């Protein structure tokens, strides 16, 4: 079986963000599962607020092109997304919007979202575990971008108390969810890598 390449992106910038911590833990679990993992921070890829008129008048920002190319170089993507007002973060939505319009070498629309699999996770301080955010993100990806999104996802409620001193998940259900998502992502990405 081919070694799948997985890209991990947290939808938050803060070093102590629960979702940055979740992304780091997902990276660790993916590495244990023998995936070739790349974890990035969107702080290294600043983008203006998406504006369709601006996009129509000029080339996409170079960071949008870089992110699209990075996504296309991987078989799978794990997104760790916080919840802002029961929805996706502006940072993640803006990033997806810019990536979605990048076309290189006569590619079809939404090329970055085709032929790869997406897995979702989220952590929030409340009891919902970022479930509303994950639902919004799933809709943006699967309906808006026509991406393949795994049914399995990891939701971490009460995130302020969810991680131990080694940044492992204390709650066995959330830890099991993460391992299941990682396993499914590696399996699906391996099939894509073997094509």
Q: What is the pLDDT of residues 91-106, one digit of tens each?
A: 999 999 999 999 988 8
CATH topology of domain 5-193: Rossmann fold (3.40.50)
pLDDT score recorded for residue 63: 98
Q: What percent of the chain has pLDDT over 90?
A: 85
Which phi and psi angles does 37 have, rounded to 5°? Answer: -110, 140
- Dist CA 193 CA 188 (whole Å): 9
Q: What is the mean pLDDT of residues 71-82?
A: 97
pLDDT score recorded for residue 182: 97
pLDDT score recorded for residue 195: 61
The overall average pLDDT reported for the chain is 94
Q: What is the pLDDT of residues 16-58, one digit of tens each?
A: 899 999 999 999 999 999 999 999 999 999 999 999 888 888 8
Choose between 70 and 58: higher pLDDT.
Answer: 70
Structure pTM?
0.95
Nearest to 30 by CA among 85, 78, 92, 74: 78
- Dist CA 111 CA 128 (whole Å): 33
Q: What is the mean pLDDT of residues 98-126?
A: 94
Task: Please report, for residues 40, 83, 102, 135, 152, the alpha-carbon distance to residue 113 in angstroms, rounded to integers and kept in the order given.
Answer: 17, 22, 11, 18, 18
Domain boundaries defined on the chain:
5-193
Choose between 49 and 195: higher pLDDT.
Answer: 49
pLDDT score recorded for residue 1: 58
Per the structure block, which two tokens stand in for 131?
């479930």
């Amino acid at each position: 079986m081919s070694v799948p390449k997985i890209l991990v992106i947290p939808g938050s910038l803060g070093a102590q963000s629960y979702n940055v911590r979740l992304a780091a833990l997902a990276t660790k679990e993916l590495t244990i599962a023998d995936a070739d993992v790349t974890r990035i921070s969107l702080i290294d890829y600043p983008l203006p607020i998406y504006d369709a008129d601006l996009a129509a008048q000029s080339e996409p920002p170079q960071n949008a092109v870089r992110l699209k190319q990075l996504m296309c170089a991987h078989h799978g993507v794990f997104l760790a997304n916080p919840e802002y007002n029961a929805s996706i973060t502006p940072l993640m939505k803006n990033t997806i919007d810019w990536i979605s319009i990048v076309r290189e070498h006569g590619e079809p629309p939404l090329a970055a979202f085709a032929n790869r699999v997406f897995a979702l996770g989220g952590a929030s301080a409340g009891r919902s575990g970022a479930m509303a955010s994950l639902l919004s993100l799933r809709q943006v990806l699967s309906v808006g971008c026509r991406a393949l999104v795994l049914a399995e996802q990891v939701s971490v409620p009460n995130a302020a108390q969810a991680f131990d001193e080694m940044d492992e998940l204390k709650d066995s259900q959330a830890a099991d969810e993460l391992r299941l998502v990682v396993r499914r992502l590696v399996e699906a990405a391996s099939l894509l890598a073997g094509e």
